Amino acid sequence: MKKLWKTSILAGSAMAILAGCSSDESGSGSGSGGGSETIDMWVFGTTGYEELAEKYMEENPDVKINVQSTEMGDHHNNLFTALSAGQGAPDIAMIEVGEIERYREAQDRFANLYDLGAEDVQGDYLEWVWNVGQSADGEFMFGLPTDIGPTAMYYRKDVVEEAGYPTDPAELAASLDTWEAYSQFAKDVAEKTGKPVVDNAELIFNAKRDQADEHYFNRDNELIVEDNAAIREAYDYTVSLIEEGAVGNMPLWTPEWGQGMAEGSYATLLGPAWMQGVVKGNAPDSDQWMITTMPEGAGNWGGSYLTISEESDQQEEAYAFIEWLVSPETQLESFKDMGLFPSTPATYEQDEFVNYTDDYFGGINTAAVFAEAADQVKDVYKGRNYLLVQGEIMTALNNVLSSGGDPDQEWDDAMERIKQRLERE
């Protein structure tokens, strides 16, 4: 199987919801407009759900589904506005995983999918993915999981070979099975190639952070970042690589970052499954990129949930559709056609998944690498102000990287800014 992966999401950089934004869209879940009622569905990104909706309607001729896709920020703003107004929300809305905590405070605006039969399909999904979609007490299910973004290590064969390391994925993974080994690798890359081991501070910090049991808030939504040894360890580890001159200064989504992929300006990129499409898009003619596992485990960056609005008068019909849309069988189709990585482990056992190969990445089964990573992701509570805390830590690390800031002072300043901002929330 030789499918070109497409970028499905730009997750992890989700925009904050702006309550003042207005929407020109009005949901038709109430059946306004006469004729047969239409199930309205709002999505973002490149999902292929329009084509799948057509297939569903062919199999269910009494159902009409209208899929509307917009840019991710506008999508969430418009949805927030419609829910706040109490009218105009679609029957089905896609919510990015980084945004879901914001919507928990409006739980009464959503249908509880447990009331519609979600418990019957709970076993189809990875446990950590399912838990993110439900309330803390486990009584309310906001949405069914779509795709996910388990993380692995992308690497340039030419840079790795020049540094004196094996380029075979399994052999390299065995050589870099700990972060201590990766640190030595970083030194060797810098010394022998003159290049950084990683593109920027954010991705190395995220990779270490995501292996912790807790991040910035506990499940009571109390701020714990300052006293969380695992987060400080991730920060200090990133600083140590910066001080070795092993971290590049190529911020995500900039032209320099993309150009670096094409030119082999760094050795590794620690990213999610959907980053395959980004790498291919920025370096379409390269034959040097490969993928293997990261040291000591994996994290997740991205994914979404399909919710149903409480105001919809077609909740059962809407639920039947989304249950089909994100079933193991249909997620296999989304994987083959759009590169959406499945949240359903049964899909990983299907022949078309097991036998998947990608010529761009040396003909290896990249799907197997990310399936292994998906099983390692931890169930971590993030909290509605997760991105606020993340942003301040990134400011601190970038000050160390770009301006030579004192790491301890930058950390302390970041912690103080976080507290001040949260007090104003």
What is the per-residue pLDDT across 137-148, written as a single tens digit (0 to 9) for each?
A: 999 999 999 999
Dihedrals φ, ψ of 348, to 5°?
-65, -15
Coil, strand, or helix at residue 35? coil
Q: What is the dihedral of CA 144, 298, 334, 142, to 10 degrees?
A: 10
| CB atoms inside a 10 Å sphere around CB 141 | 22
pLDDT per residue as tens digits for the range 234-263: 999 999 999 999 999 999 999 999 999 999
61 and 132 assigned to the same domain? yes
Q: Strand 38-44 to strand 268-272: parallel, antiparallel, or no bridges (unpaired)?
A: unpaired
In the chain, the amino acid numbered 73 is: G
pLDDT per residue as tens digits for the range 390-419: 999 999 999 999 999 999 999 999 999 999
Residue 201 domain flag? yes
**Domain range for 94:** 38-149+302-374
- The rounded distance, in Å, linking the Cα atoms of 234 and 66 is 44
Residue 366 domain flag? yes
- The rounded distance, in Å, linking the Cα atoms of 8 and 275 is 9
294 and 344 assigned to the same domain? no
Residue 169 domain flag? yes
For 192-246, give the DSSP string. Answer: HHSS-SBS-HHHHHHHHHTTSS--SB-TT--B-GGG-HHHHHHHHHHHHHHHTT-
263 and 395 assigned to the same domain? yes
Contact 200, 268 (CB under 8 A): no
pTM recorded for the entire structure: 0.88
134 and 245 assigned to the same domain? no
Share of the chain above pLDDT 70, in %: 92
145 and 277 assigned to the same domain? no
Distance of CA 188 to the CA centre of its chain: 31
48 and 137 assigned to the same domain? yes
Residue 10 domain flag? no
Contact 380, 212 (CB under 8 A): yes
pLDDT per residue as tens digits for the range 200-215: 999 999 999 999 999 9
176 and 247 assigned to the same domain? yes
At 36 the pLDDT is 61
95 and 144 assigned to the same domain? yes
pLDDT per residue as tens digits for the range 95-128: 999 899 889 888 999 999 999 999 999 999 999 9
Q: What is the dihedral of CA 27, 32, 36, 37, to 10 degrees?
A: 30
pLDDT per residue as tens digits for the range 269-289: 999 999 999 999 999 999 999
Q: What is the mean pLDDT of residues 159-172?
A: 99
Look-up of token digits 């970052």: 257
Residue 291 domain flag? yes
191 and 332 assigned to the same domain? no
- The rounded distance, in Å, linking the Cα atoms of 138 and 154 is 36
At 136 the pLDDT is 85
Model confidence at 15: pLDDT above 80:
no
Count of structural domains within the chain: 2
In the chain, the amino acid numbered 408 is: D
Model confidence at 328: pLDDT above 50:
yes
Residue 32 domain flag? no
Dihedrals φ, ψ of 150, to 5°?
-60, 150
287 and 402 assigned to the same domain? yes
330 and 390 assigned to the same domain? no
Alpha-carbon distance values, 94 to 69, 252, 289, 353, 391 (Å): 10, 24, 32, 25, 24
Dihedrals φ, ψ of 270, to 5°?
-95, 100
Domain with residue 238: its CATH number is 3.40.190.10
44 and 97 assigned to the same domain? yes
Q: What is the mean pLDDT of residues 345-356?
A: 96
Give all strands (DSSP E) within 55-195, no chain letters: 64-70, 92-96, 143-156
- The rounded distance, in Å, linking the Cα atoms of 108 and 117 is 18
